[in-house]
Chain A
């Protein structure tokens, strides 16, 4: 089985963001970048499906600037067979339909039976790229996937519903699945994996060459979130903080 995994590089959750002067993006220099969390689980699921079936190919596709090489190498080191890097230069696209249509051009040519993506990217947070691609390629789609079982022409997946409910569904292949975190235990790259990753193919293609639709949506302006509540900040040395917290617990919140 041929499996495509979308792997995105995003700024880590501890990053401090400053907005660029034009208000449309963040200042990237000095930010920590890492693989998007649900994509880590999507990649692991693909590798496990390949291992369970005893055959097949896993290739990853990443859209983003040069810095994404690091994330691509990490995916290859974990065991992906090869990668396609859709290179993008700033200003970055913030239109999910355009992003998806660019992905579909690359994926259509490869004709995979399964496309796995993360449920949501932690930076743009559209939560729709995998589903858009599935629809554009005439595949079945499912989101919030927390288990997969391949069955000949079909795939049976378990979906997370709200409030602790779940549901299995059987879908025709080819399918595009958006993976929810926690469904497996992602591996770390082995030393051997890191060595062999250097020899694996990364094919570069250009976003601008593939872009064939107009932007229908964009981030016009980014700004910092404003506080909803007045927060009393507790400051000082660790010992001072601790004694102030004890005071708040006992005398303000009255925990006993």
Chain B
């Protein structure tokens, strides 16, 4: 029996980076609150993942293999994990806030009628109990979350809320668990995943990046930044809305659904700083942010900041660097 159950995600045969972060978070919170930690692996490689996870300092590692879980479906995964949670009855169930977690964990919440605190960034401990916090209102505010009722609370952690480098090693026992899962529950037929054909530039190798967001206003303004990027000798990157609007091809996109970059200079022009963008660029050595909104969340991770209008600044900056 464990107080915190961490559910792993299988990423091409190994444990997803964000599941490791969730284990690290669970160990930390467990230690501060006196709660024991267990792990659940499920799906095709569950026993191999469980063997891998047993090297960490946790109470025990459960693994669930079932022919109806060999390929991921929200139908199968939500039904199976809900059953394991009901049987083990932990106080908390932790996940990394991955795309797969977004897809099936809300269904567990509805099945169990228990809250799902998503995308949590931090916690505090009061009276031996954790209180969780998440970002809200365009990442400009942090909200303290309150839950009520009896039974497990589901929590997913935002990328990098905890570092997998702090994970404690140990040796845990493993245990096989079963669920009653009828094939008729699965009303979804998945096809093979595929990768978008690689095209354009590999921004991860770029030393200098000029990146634009929706603040550029319209497609007609794109040449302004192309010129600036040229005089700096930088690659051009963007936030998602610029790609969604068709102003730049998708290989320019930085963020959780685009590329991850770590250049010497990341010059962010008219980008607000949503977490899905930030995860793709926060490793940059020097972050320079220009935004007309002094409260733009991206300023929080900036080394240099300018509150101003990019449409005024860009042409003059190009000119000055050219001279």
| A contact set with B: CB distance below 8 Å | 11, 13-17, 19, 26, 37, 41, 94-97, 100, 119, 122-128, 131-132, 134-136, 140-144, 159-162, 164-172, 180-182, 185, 213-229, 231-235, 238-239, 241-243, 245-246, 248-249, 252-253, 255-256
- The answer to whether the Cβ of B14 comes within 8 Å of any Cβ in the partner chain is no
- Number of cross-chain contacts by CB at 8 Å: 253
Residues of B within 8 A of A235 (CB): 306-307
Residues of B within 8 A of A232 (CB): 303-305
Main secondary structure of the interface of B (DSSP, over half): mixed
In the complex, are the beta carbons of B115 and A233 less than 8 A apart?
A: no
Known: A181-B241, A181-B244. A141 touches B107 (CB 8 A): yes
In the complex, are the beta carbons of B194 and A225 less than 8 A apart?
A: no
In the complex, are the beta carbons of B103 and A131 less than 8 A apart?
A: yes
Least CB distance from A185 to B in Å reads 7
Residues of B within 8 A of A119 (CB): 102
Least CB distance from A149 to B in Å reads 12
In the complex, are the beta carbons of A231 and B299 less than 8 A apart?
A: yes
Least CB distance from B193 to A in Å reads 4
In the complex, are the beta carbons of B144 and A132 less than 8 A apart?
A: no
Query: Total interface residues on B, using CB and 8 Å?
Result: 86
The 5 A-B residue pairs with the shortest CB-CB distance, nearest first, are: A182-B244, A128-B106, A131-B106, A135-B110, A217-B115
Give A14 to B272 CA distance when docked, in angstroms.
8
Choose among A141, A159, A224 the residue that contacts B141 (Cβ–Cβ < 8 A): A224
Residues of B within 8 A of A185 (CB): 246
Known: A135-B78, A215-B148, A238-B316. A169 touches B190 (CB 8 A): yes
Known: A37-B241, A214-B149. A140 touches B143 (CB 8 A): no
In the complex, are the beta carbons of A229 and B301 less than 8 A apart?
A: yes
- The answer to whether the Cβ of B119 comes within 8 Å of any Cβ in the partner chain is yes
Give A219 to B292 CA distance when docked, in angstroms.
29
Known: A135-B111, A144-B102. A225 touches B300 (CB 8 A): yes
Main secondary structure of the interface of A (DSSP, over half): mixed
Known: A228-B300, A231-B303, A255-B232. A170 touches B106 (CB 8 A): no
Least CB distance from A217 to B in Å reads 4
Give A165 to B99 CA distance when docked, in angstroms.
11
Give A167 to B194 CA distance when docked, in angstroms.
6
- The answer to whether the Cβ of B114 comes within 8 Å of any Cβ in the partner chain is yes
Least CB distance from B162 to A in Å reads 15
In the complex, are the beta carbons of A239 and B316 less than 8 A apart?
A: yes
Give A129 to B113 CA distance when docked, in angstroms.
14
Choose among A126, A166, A255 the residue that contacts B118 (Cβ–Cβ < 8 A): A126
In the complex, are the beta carbons of A140 and B187 less than 8 A apart?
A: yes
Least CB distance from A231 to B in Å reads 5
Known: A135-B106, A243-B320. A217 touches B145 (CB 8 A): yes
**Closest residue of B by beta carbon distance from A11:** B137
- The answer to whether the Cβ of B313 comes within 8 Å of any Cβ in the partner chain is yes
In the complex, are the beta carbons of B119 and A127 less than 8 A apart?
A: yes
Choose among B99, B115, B312 the residue that contacts A216 (Cβ–Cβ < 8 A): B115
In the complex, are the beta carbons of B139 and A225 less than 8 A apart?
A: yes
- The answer to whether the Cβ of B192 comes within 8 Å of any Cβ in the partner chain is yes
Known: A135-B78, A238-B313, A239-B316. A217 touches B118 (CB 8 A): no
Least CB distance from A12 to B in Å reads 8
Known: A167-B192, A171-B188. A216 touches B141 (CB 8 A): no
Residues of B within 8 A of A124 (CB): 136
